[in-house]
Amino acid sequence: MRARRFALRLSSQRDRPPFSRQKPEFQSQYCIAAFRCCGNAAKVFTLDDLARTIAARADAGAESSYTASLLAKGPPRCAKKFGEEAVELAIAAVAQDEAAVRAEAADVLYHLLVLLQSRGVALADVMEELQRRTAQSGLAEKASRRA
C-alpha cells in the first residue's frame, strides 16, 4: 500500500474547515501526518488545527498564554522568534540528529503560524500561493518572479 496523506472526515459540513467544504471525503493540503491507505480515516492533527488553536489563544491574556504573549509583542518579535527556530532547525539538520530535527521543525511550524497570525495572513492564503506555484515547474516559477 502506498502511504497517502489525508485528514479526518468531519461529521458535519459546519465543522469542516473552509478549505475542505467542497471536498467532503478528505483533504490533504494541510495534513502533517501520513497514514497507510486502509479505508479508515483517523484523527489527524493538521496545520489548520494548529492555526485555529493559535487564533483562539491570541485572545487569551498574555500572562496565561505563551502564544498571546508573543502576539502582544508584535510582528517584529514573532519574526525574530521564527528566525531563531529556523536556525535551530538548520543546525539540527546539519548535525543529523533526527529527533532534534523533528522537534525543531515543529517549533518552526508553530512560530511560522504565530508570525502569520501577527501579520493577519491566513494559512489558507499561503496554501493558495503554494498551489499556484506548483502548477508550474520550480524553475519556471522562479523565472516568472524575475520578470
Q: CA 15, 18, 20 angle in degrees (round to 5)? A: 80
Q: For residue 82, count CB atoms less than 10 angstroms from its CB and return exposed for 0-12, middle for 13-18, buried for 19 or more.
A: buried
Q: Specify whether 66 is located in the same domain as 113.
A: yes
Q: Are 103 and 79 in a shared domain? A: yes
Q: Which has more pLDDT, 78 or 18?
A: 78
**Same domain? 62 vs 133:** yes
18 contacts 124 by C-beta, under 8 angstroms: yes
pLDDT of 103: 96
Q: Are residues 77 and 146 in the same domain?
A: yes
Average pLDDT, the chain: 78
pTM of this structure: 0.68
Whether residues 103 and 39 fall in one domain = no
pLDDT in tens, 57-70: 998 888 889 999 99
Residues 26 and 81 in one domain: no
Q: Are residues 12 and 54 in the same domain?
A: no
Q: What is the domain range of residue 135?
A: 47-147
Whether residues 33 and 61 fall in one domain = no
Based on the domain organization, do 33 and 80 belong to the same domain?
A: no
Q: Are residues 127 and 76 in the same domain?
A: yes
Residue 143, domain CATH: 1.10.287.1080
Residue 38, pLDDT above cutoff 90: no
What total of structural domains would you count in the chain?
2
Same domain? 80 vs 141: yes
Q: Are residues 101 and 141 in the same domain?
A: yes
What is the per-residue pLDDT across 81-132, written as a single tens digit (0 to 9) for each? 999 999 999 999 999 889 999 999 999 999 999 999 999 999 999 999 999 8
Compute φ and ψ for 80, nearest 5 degrees.
-60, -45
